[in-house]
Chain A
Amino acid sequence: QVVANPEQYIKHPLQNRWALWYFKNDKTKSWTENLRLISKFDTVEDFWALYNHIQQPSKLNYGCDYCLFKDGIKPMWEDERNKLGGRWLITLNRQQRHNDLDRYWMETLLCLVGESFDEASEDVCGAVVNVRPKGDKLAIWTSNCQNRDAIMTIGQLYKERLSLPMKALIGYQSHDDTSSKSGSTTKNMYSV
């Protein structure tokens, strides 16, 4: 299709408005001071304008995060819409920063803005990428860790979208368990 008059071009609206946050680990500041809202968008075109403008996760410094959340949900456990929820967590090895991280993050974003999880998309709160020396992490956060059907739908489709091998298991952990853990591992409520 040819757009005759660019001023009449209507952008493609997304189901949700999304907010992209950036976390920079500055030890002289508090956790909340380090969390900054970059921008919000609610069309396909504005999503790409933002995506094309910012650094890929593999170029970020250690300790930095990107978070993409539905407008109105803060990227923290304490938010009303997160506190009963949890996350599908994918832990990458060091080699995967070079090979997979940026691709996985883009696929994650496309799953969110495109509402790829059918009805279960309503359970999605957002997604987070953590860039860490020991291994980067990707997660999709959902609103209620008791919504088994929605969580399993999201986990299965997410794994397919990232083309993870069948035998590779990914786990879902409640924020409650993650925030109260004493050791270095949190038990999985679900896995696919």
Chain B
Amino acid sequence: AKKRYDREFLLGFQFISASM
């Protein structure tokens, strides 16, 4: 299946990733 992500899903990770 194609890996598609909507805008809100992507935005939810903006500051999670910074702390990883």
Contact = CB atoms under 8 A, between A and B. Distances in A.
Our verdict on whether A and B bind, yes or no, reads yes
Interface stretch (A10-18, A65-73, A132-140, A147-155): A10-18
Contacts, number: 58
A46 B7 contact: no
Interface in A16-56: 44-49, 51-52
Interface stretch (A85-93, A96-104, A113-121, A180-188): A113-121
Does more than half of chain A's interface fall in helix, strand or loop, or is it mixed? helix
A75 to B, nearest CB: 22
A113 B5 contact: yes
Interface of A: 6, 9, 12-15, 44-49, 51-52, 107, 110, 113-116, 121, 161
Interface of B: 2-7, 9-11, 13-18, 20
Given A44-B13, A110-B10, A115-B3, 6 more contacts: A6-B20, A12-B3, A46-B17, A48-B16, A52-B14, A115-B5
